Amino acid sequence: MSVIRSLKMNFAVWIKWIFGKKRARIGIYGPPNAGKTTLANRIVRDWSGMETGGISHIPHETRRALRTDGVVINANGSSVELDIVDTPGMATKIDFREFMAYGLEEEEAKRRAKEATEGVIEAIKWLEDLDGILLVMDSTEDPYTQVNVTVVGNMEARKLPLLIVANKMDLPKAAPSRIKAAFPQHPLVTISALEGSNIDDLYAAIARHFG
């Protein structure tokens, strides 16, 4: 009996190997405060019961990439196993004075700025080790930021799958249609990572694009 089971398992592994990879390393990218860690927490909590990182209204709360391996998502009758990398917010400028506007003391703001610059570099380095990206955008903000343009351009140049997540649909100013108009060539799912709205649509899209 165990021999038959073993043969069946080997056959399944071969089928997966021949017809495509079912495990993928996915990076969650986007500008600061787009809701990347809120989304990472939601995905990991929904499918493995854990949390990845802390969240805050102060930009650059995540200053180190946080990796969670082996998150299995089942949707639309298919299954995909993901290693999820929640990356620090991408930015072209970091000024410690902006953190002081959120009430941080000067020393703490300077330390946060220093760590944030290192975090951006880490996020960039991770681009080389990924199979695909969830690009999280704040639906209430202008989608034509250079961070969005640069990340989309890099994924296109590397020919890697990209799924745009239009987050914060729960807010009154949300306008995901602007994101769709800016990047019409890529699939987009509108969600609220905080409230969980449309999250099943996102899981179906993840299984379809990365599975």
Task: Report the interface residues with other proteins, using CB under 8 A.
Answer: 90-96, 110, 113-114, 117-118, 120-121, 124, 127, 142, 144, 146, 149-150, 152-154, 156-157, 181-183
d(CA 29, CA 136): 6
* Helix ranges (DSSP H) in 101-211: 106-126, 146-158, 176-182, 199-210
**Given the complex with other proteins, which of 129 and 156 has the nearer CB atom?**
156
* Measured CA angle at 199 (ends 196, 15), to 5 deg: 145
> Taking the complex as a whole, how short is the minimal distance between the CB of residue 195 and other proteins, in angstroms?
29
Residue closer to other proteins by CB (options 5, 159) is 159
Question: Which residue, 154 or 197, is less far from other proteins as judged by CB?
Answer: 154
**Nearest distance in Å: CB 112, other proteins:** 11
* DSSP assignment of 15-74: HHHHH---EEEEEEE-STTSSHHHHHHHHHHHHHS-------SSS----S-EEEEEEEEE
Q: Which is nearer to other proteins, 48 or 150 (CB)?
A: 150
Dist CA 40 CA 53 (whole Å): 8
Q: How far is the CB of 122 from other proteins (least distance, A)?
A: 10
Least CB distance from residue 208 to other proteins, whole Å? 23
